[in-house]
Structure formats: C-alpha cells, structure tokens
Structure 1
Amino acid sequence: MADTEKKQLLHLVFGGELKSLNGMDFRDLDALDIVGIYPNYALAHQAWKSKAQMTVDNAHMRYFIVHLHRMLDPHDDSKTAS
C-alpha cells in the first residue's frame, strides 16, 4: 500500500429503539436501522449525527458507531486511532 493511500478503518452505523433508557436491549431486532458502513470515523460520525438528530424526539431511539476494523483485526495496534 502506498504511503499516500489511507487504510480503510471500517465503521458501522446502526440504531434502534431501546426497551429502556437504562439498558442496551433493543425493542425489536427486526426493526434495527442499519445506516451503513463507512471507510473512516469522520464519515461514520456524520451519518450517526444526522440519524441521531432526526430521531431526537424519541428518547428511546439510539444510534451507535461500531469500530468494525477493531473487530476484524483486534491485534493490530496501528488501528487504535479512529
């Protein structure tokens, strides 16, 4: 890989309605909103922020960013930065 080419640090953005404000269990797994997979944290954060702002009236609706690159290769210390 060329030095000028950036590594893909894949991030998943998804959300759904939680059963409780105090937990992380989703009300309906079939209704999860898979927003997308993004090549870097900045783009994932933009997508997350947009979706979170659209659902601000529903306190139970939460969106998350998952660092897929860390799950795909958890032993690669060079991927610790978002």
Structure 2
Amino acid sequence: MQEQEPRQLLHLVFGGELKDLQSVDFKDLGSLDIVGIFPDYASALAAWRGKAQQTVDNASVRYFIVHMHRLLNPENA
C-alpha cells in the first residue's frame, strides 16, 4: 500500500519596514525580505516567528504569512 503525500498548502512569508504602523504600505518595495515559500502553515509560522523575533526591536518592521493556496485555488480554500 502506498502512502499519500500530504496535500501542499503553500504559504509565503515576507516582510519589511512599513511607512506607517496603521497601514500595510511598505517604505521600500525593493528591500522586502522574502523569507520563503513553505509547504504548510506550521512551517510558515515557525519561519514567521523567527523573523519577527529578530526584528522585535524595530517596531516599523512587520512580517506576514500569505496563504498562497487560497489564491491559487480559491474554491477549495
């Protein structure tokens, strides 16, 4: 009997310095930190936590998790 691979639910983790803490507009799009694309939420969350912890002293830097699988296949989100 073959084992099935878990379904890939791709997540993108990225961040950068915001223009204003009340928005999600970045100061410089060219300097966004693209952390990576992860196969599941748990690994994306671990990467997000690591980056967020590294930048805890700079209040204007924010990291985000984008649920790419919802964008790629919205009817199955």
TM-score (norm 1): 0.88
- 1:27 is aligned to 27
- RMSD of the TM alignment (CA)? 1.2
Q: Gapped runs of 5+ residues in structure 2?
A: none
Q: Gapped runs of 5+ residues in structure 1?
A: none
- In 1: Cα distance, 2:24 partner to 2:44 partner: 20
Q: Deviations over 1:6-53 (max 9, x none)?
A: 100000000000001111100000000000000000000000000000
- The number of residue pairs the alignment matches comes to 76
TM-score (norm 2): 0.94
